Chains A and B, each alone.
Chain A
């Protein structure tokens, strides 16, 4: 693991007994002594602290926020210009074929746009933004800050005790706070389906903040293993698995993230990579769809399991892109793509597991209802 990058919290993870694994070029904690199952349940019931410092934090600056927003809209099919100060949105970088290059969060932080992208894609994302936006817009990777997420119903009380004022934030609000003489950039968001916060903290203060949060009796350190099962139950896509350069937003049922103003009849409709291919899926024309899948019985169906319309087999109708055991659901859960005619909720299909075709039901996402503070 010596060639792997570390985060400002690596030493803390090791001191807590984490099992470290390589992930997107970083040594990251996959689990702590508590174990994935208990870490997952703890996050749903109380609060979990996640190190997500491997993700890319980037600031985009121009003459004004409007200038940055207009430029950024050339890269994403989202309404950036209409995003109010102090608010954040989910977004997608698309390619010329309408596929998804990465998913991201972007926030209007007054005089600049703050973007958080996936670890595995961050270099490509920075290169894409730099090539498309500079020199008018300055693309500044943020390398002196860690990123942690505090998730779960007890997150509000635990963070409010250290950072007064955060309790007043609503889902997808962003704001700046002071902690130990440092500036925290906090958003009320996350990727577990639970209420919570994502906190950008200067490297020098990161361990102090993490340790202080962990001192709260309701907060446990949570690894990537539980992060994956939490987001899966939450129906949230994992880039490179549930969405990738070959999947288009409406196939991925992420059409909700494309606001009206960027759709064909909108005031700023189109004008992003792959707009024509993406709009061709409108009106129910997407040939396949991402759906929730509930395998019968207890055996988990994981990524790569092939789906069939009939127990007899025949031509495949889709594939599972994420799957495993859902600790809160108490059974196997999955998501994947199926052809449009098999995408209706409650459709019975089959997944091939060790040579047998096991019944699977198309299920509503999320598997566990979101618990956001709207």
Chain B
């Protein structure tokens, strides 16, 4: 598992990267009430704002962590946004990217690094 400074977690399996937000991020956001996911099949570029997430407090974005193609999205969190608070690092993943160039992964933090990052 890798982590971004945008509080995303990234799980790599072959050429597929599953992306979600960390428990720390979910806690900071508060109760999530709305999630808008990218379309399956869309090509995204690193740092594109591809997810809108709204909590009772505020709206925020999730950035694409890598260049790639969105191959799957988690419709369950659109229907039940509170899953993002209940199980952010498990059931409530956001989208899966098919990635050809994994090299940016090297720049992301490991679990220990992320733990230090959030202090």
A300 at the interface (CB under 8 A from B): yes
Q: A37-B56, A325-B31 are in contact. List 4 more A-B contacts (CB 8 A).
A: A225-B57, A298-B33, A299-B34, A299-B54
Across the A-B interface, give the 10 residue pairs with the lowest CB-CB distance, nearest first: A37-B31, A325-B33, A36-B56, A298-B34, A299-B34, A325-B56, A300-B54, A35-B31, A36-B30, A36-B31
B residues near A, CB below 8 A? Answer: 30-31, 33-34, 36, 52, 54, 56-57, 59, 81-82, 85
A325 to B31, CA, bound (A): 10
Q: Find the B residue at minimum CB distance from A40.
A: B56
* B54 engages A35 (CB within 8 Å): no
**Cross-chain contact of B57 among A36, A298, A327, A332 (Cβ < 8 A):** A36
Which residue of chain A is the closest to B82 with respect to CB atoms? A37
- The distance in angstroms between the C-alpha atoms of A324 and B56, with both chains bound, is 7
Q: Which residues of B contact A37 (CB under 8 A)?
A: 30-31, 33, 56, 82
Q: Is A302 an interface residue (CB 8 A)?
A: yes
Binary interface encoding of chain A residues 222-240 relative to chain B, with 1 for a CB under 8 A from any of its CBs, else 0: 0001000100000000000
Query: Are A325 and B54 closer than 8 Å at their CB atoms?
Result: yes
Evaluate contact between B57 and A300: CB separation under 8 angstroms.
no
**Which of chain A's residues have a CB closer than 8 A to the CB of B57?**
30, 36, 225
Q: How far is the CA of A109 from the CA of B54 in the complex (A)?
A: 45
Asked, given contacts A325-B54, A354-B52, whether A302 binds B34 with beta carbons under 8 Å apart, the answer is no
Q: How far is the CA of A38 from the CA of B52 in the complex (A)?
A: 23
A108 within 8 A of B: no
Question: Hey, which chain B residues are within 8 Å of A332, CB to CB?
Answer: 33-34
Chain A residues 344 to 358 lying within 8 A of chain B, measured CB to CB, are 354
- Bound: A125/B36 CA distance, A: 44
Pairs A–B under 8 Å by Cβ, sample size 9: A35-B30, A35-B31, A38-B31, A225-B56, A298-B81, A299-B36, A299-B54, A324-B56, A354-B52
**B-facing mask of A10-50, CB < 8 A → 1, else 0?**
00000000000000000000110001111000000000000
Nearest B residue to A226, CB-CB: B56
Chain B residues with Cβ under 8 A from A36's Cβ? 30-31, 56-57
B59 A302 Cβ-Cβ under 8 A: yes
- Write out the residue numbers on chain A whose beta carbons fall within 8 Å of the beta carbon of B34: 298-300, 325, 332
In the complex, are the beta carbons of B52 and A327 less than 8 A apart?
no
Bound Cα distance A38, B85 (Å):
13
Q: Which residues of A contact B52 (CB under 8 A)?
A: 299, 354
B-side contacts of A38, CB under 8 Å: 31
**A367 shortest CB reach to chain B, Å:** 15
Question: Would you list which residues of chain A between 270 and 305 have a CB under 8 Å from chain B?
Answer: 298-300, 302
Task: Verify A229–B54 contact, CB threshold 8 A.
Answer: no
Q: What residues of B have a CB within 8 angstroms of the CB of A229 in the complex?
A: 56
Min distance, Cβ A298 to any Cβ of chain B, angstroms? 5
